[in-house]
Structure 1
Amino acid sequence: MLRRAFLAGMAALALGASAASAETPKEINFGIISTESTQNLKTQWEPFLADMEKATGIKVNPFYATDYAGVIEAMRFNKVQVAWYGNASAIQAVDRANGEVFAQKIYADGSRGYYSILIANTNSNINSLDDVLKQPGKLKFGNGDPNSTSGFLIPSYYAWAKNNIDIRKHFTTALNSNHEANLMAVATGQVDVATNNTEDFAKFQRAQPDKAKLVREIWRSPMIPADPLVWRTDLDEGAKKKILAFLLAYGQPGPNQAHEKEVLDALGQWGGFLASSNDQLLPVRQVSLFKDRMKIEQDATISDADKKKQIAEIDAKLDELSKKMAEVKTQ
């Protein structure tokens, strides 16, 4: 009963917000995924959001949640209108929360991507992924948030699925946490190996150099597209234009460039933003489908007929994705 009442209330809020979306909003809520502690995120993000508010004339309220799903659900019910996501969580926002990718961050060196990594303590005998694969039933694992691209999806496919590893059986424990917590868990020896990414590891090295010396990278993925920014498709067009214009100009030559570069550096050595679209999610969608395909192939509880049917459905989706990616490359 309480759950039905809660969902009804959230739906009512969403309908009310949708009805008002025809007018430029006086304020918006900006969602920030939980890659580390809320206090750290506030320190990094609030100067940027203050600049956005000043430039657009729209009050910008930060929205934090304890996990990625909290931001996705908030966008679904129009409690969040714009958000910073990873690619995997952006897929959920696009598919389930009326979201649309409209911009992508870039790094200070001009690169448009980053890497998922596995990390271990420098005092351990773990120096490579192969060292992890050779120790079934002996190691503790720090996994990422289930909606994280670099902390969960990418290593699930490239490190585990492609090596026929079921993490529930391979490790003595497998705990989900954010990037910052996984770095600390490896540094303090609470887990033997954990997922992370090159951006958050670099931030950790700057913020806690002594602890960072206890952590080493043992595996690196192919490049992941840099994080997207997503807005609700029903956000007022005038607000969209103001927000996008602010992002594309931020950190670029002008009277405020020095200040803006400091803010971007605190966010993770960012260099600014480029316009983007849902097309940037296509490679990550492909990895997700490949992972699902391998899981079905290895599932002995599924009948041959059902397995053949499910794999055929995934192959059809993969074929559509391949065609779409080829079209995007030629544009």
Structure 2
Amino acid sequence: MRVIFEKTNKFLALMMVVGFISLLAACGDDANASEGDNGDGWPDKISYGVLPGEEDTEISRAHDLFAEDMSEELGIEVELFQGEDYNAVIEAMRSKKLDMASFGPFSYIIAQERSNAVPIAVRAKSEEDATYNSWIVVPDESDAETVEDLKDKTILFADPASTSGHLFPRGMFIDELGITNDEIESYFSSVSFSGSHDNSILAIAAGDADAAGVCSTCVERAIEGGMVSESDFRIIKESDPIPSSPITYRGDLPESLVEAIKEFVYNYDNETYFEKAGDSESRYIPVDESDYDIIRNTAKNLDMSPEDLLSN
């Protein structure tokens, strides 16, 4: 009997140790879960990326306001990230350092391929108004009247991944001049990238470049913000309508978080934000990836992959 009793005590002690270890493991799992999410798979913080070139304008302050309002609505921190260039924002989402981002139409196409970006909405007054244009602009005192007059002149593009600051201007030059994409560099005396639409606009206003490809809404904002005057430049070519820049999310986010983000974006009505963003009458309108087929087709017509365009 004594032997049986001793064996029973040893067995009970062993079971208590195993139970204690299991309890510690369970507590550890709970602790890790509380550090990484809120119980629904949500992270404690999400990062929202925006493209470069708007740091000195009202729209920069609008980004801050949008992030603050989203944070309050979702109940988690929303951190704003300003990329040094378009590719930095794309790569940050690819490496999962960004959960959401505002892209230009073409940079969205690249982000979809590389970073699993999914479009949510565009900012516009209506579905019919959800487009903008690419402009080829020259200094007001320039003697250039058409793109043909730019031969052996200097041309500025905004960024390799910019839709209206690179992709569409290239397409316009090819169509208008009857040259191939490979011949663009030799047509001009200099082809370079300014880093942003704002930089290109300022360079044209200062007479530091002969021409630039820029987005119509960027120029309008620059004029409204007092950066440049309408008399500083002239438009010599305008593109066909381009679908507006989408807000996107990374495709592997928890479904419940995505639905909460969509609910916030589609119902967002902060008048101060929309006024700072450029139009107090605009709102966020849902979009689908198929809305950007024109961008895919334009890139295909240039016979350049995203890698080709980004390597310029």
TM range (shorter): 0.7 to 0.9
Choose 269-278 or 283-292, whichever is displaced more.
Answer: 269-278
Q: 2:302 aligns with which of 291, 297, 300?
A: 291
Number of the residue aligned with 1:296: none
Number of the residue aligned with 1:246: 264
Structure 2: distance between partners of 1:206 and 1:106: 18
Number of the residue aligned with 2:207: 189
Displacement of 1:129: 2.5
Contact 2:202 2:228 in 1 (8 A): no
Structure 1 pair 195–131 and aligned structure 2 pair: CA distance change class (3 A): same
Question: Identity percentage over the alignment?
Answer: 24
Structure 2: distance between partners of 1:208 and 1:54: 32
SS of aligned partner of 2:240: strand
Contact 2:147 2:176 in 1 (8 A): no
Establish whether residue 269 from structure 1 lines up as the match of residue 279 from structure 2: yes
Structure 1 pair 129–269 and aligned structure 2 pair: CA distance change class (3 A): farther
Q: Following superposition of structure 1 onto structure 2, how do residues 104-119 of structure 1 map, counting pairs within 5 Å?
A: 104-107=122-125, 111-119=129-137
Q: Following superposition of structure 1 onto structure 2, how do residues 1-331 of structure 1 map, counting pairs within 5 Å?
A: 23-34=41-52, 36-40=53-57, 42-107=60-125, 111-132=129-150, 136-137=151-152, 139-160=153-174, 163=177, 164=179, 166-177=183-194, 178-208=196-226, 211-251=229-269, 260-269=270-279, 271-292=282-303
- State the TM-score, normalized to the length of structure 1: 0.74
Displacement of 1:28: 0.4
Displacement of 1:280: 1.6
Give the gaps of 5 or more residues in structure 1.
1-15, 252-259, 294-331
- State the TM-score, normalized to the length of structure 2: 0.78
> Is the radius of gyration larger for structure 1 or structure 2?
2
Structure 2: distance between partners of 1:243 and 1:109: 20
Letter in 2 for 1:51: D
Contact 1:86 1:227 in 2 (8 A): yes
Query: Cα RMSD (Å) of the superposition?
Result: 2.4
Structure 1: distance between partners of 2:54 and 2:283: 23
Residue correspondences, number: 264
Letter in 2 for 1:168: E
SS of aligned partner of 2:292: helix
Structure 2: distance between partners of 1:226 and 1:104: 6
Give the gaps of 5 or more residues in structure 2.
1-31, 305-312
Structure 2: distance between partners of 1:246 and 1:200: 26
Letter in 1 for 2:173: A
